[in-house]
Homo-oligomer: A and B are copies of this chain.
Amino acid sequence: MKVGLDVGGTKTDAVAVRDDGQIAGRVRLATGWGPDAVARTVVDAVTALADSIGIERSTIGSIGVGMPGQVEPGTTRVVHAVNLGVDELDLAAAVEPELGVPVRVENDVKAAALGAYALHSGATSMAYLNLGTGVAAGIVMNGQLWRGAFGTAGEVGHISVDPNGPLCRCGQHGCIEALAGGGAIAERWARAGALPVRDVFDAADAGDAQARILRDGLASGVAAAVRVLVLTADVDTVVLGGGITALADRLMADVAAELAASAAASPFMRSLRLDGRVELLPVGSPAAALGAALIGAARDPEEALAHG
């Protein structure tokens, strides 16, 4: 049995995966704040998962953990996971002594990409585009996660697509993330509310001019990311996931309209059939935790295969 965890800013999703690839159990817990509480959450989630399917924790073969922030290649050290209150944490060092099971750590977007690929039938290559506070993608080619030379593959959020666009917190103007990142949209909207991007959509529907600009920017940023991913890596499928995709059909309608506009203007863009390549990750999908489980169980972490 292999276990995978997706440690998110509010909740942690844990799955147990049988050798045949089927999910045997799943639990969700609130995520603690700060390095110690995050490590505690990981131990608690594994314990609860083992209990829920009636196995001893020690019989788990491997644990993979997807986390926001930067994971130093080849290590289990996470840095700058700001949404978790973690500046630096060696997760394996913190939890392996208690769990007694080998732990691997991967960036959550990369883990979700591998999991989305494993859950998808038919894709030979896929980009998973995460639309959350920030924007980043994970790319899977022939079942293999493409990490790149220095681990920045898929960082499409910081590609500028408009030199006169809004200032990005990275310092450039018109980055895809400055247009389509939930954090950037909330900052520019600058009104109180639990779900600022949803508020922007509602206000745009009600005719608010600033909301319309922000909503249009979101759609054009997502469409730009899709174009970048297809024109550079030529993945056959782009799966959208992350918090903003809770807007589901409203978001997809805007993105489809953007892609249709460029297809109408350009026979070349039309030939790429971008609209048919974009899909939404289903709400509640265990993709990220499943991908983490696959990474945890891979013989060689650089060769983590999605199937088998």
Contacts and interface: CB of A to CB of B under 8 A. Distances in A.
A268 to B, nearest CB: 4
Contacts of A280: none
A56 B137 CA distance: 52
Contact of A124 (B124, B149, B159, B265): B149
Interface stretch (A59-67, A83-91, A222-230): A222-230
Interface string A146-158: 1111111111101
Interface in A104-150: 124-125, 137, 139, 141, 146-150
Interface residues of A, number: 46
B164 A164 contact: yes
A246 interface: no
A208 to B, nearest CB: 22
A150 B160 CA distance: 26
A204 interface: no
Given A160-B224, A161-B161, A230 B267 contact: no
A231 B163 CA distance: 17
B146 A141 contact: yes
A125 B194 CA distance: 43
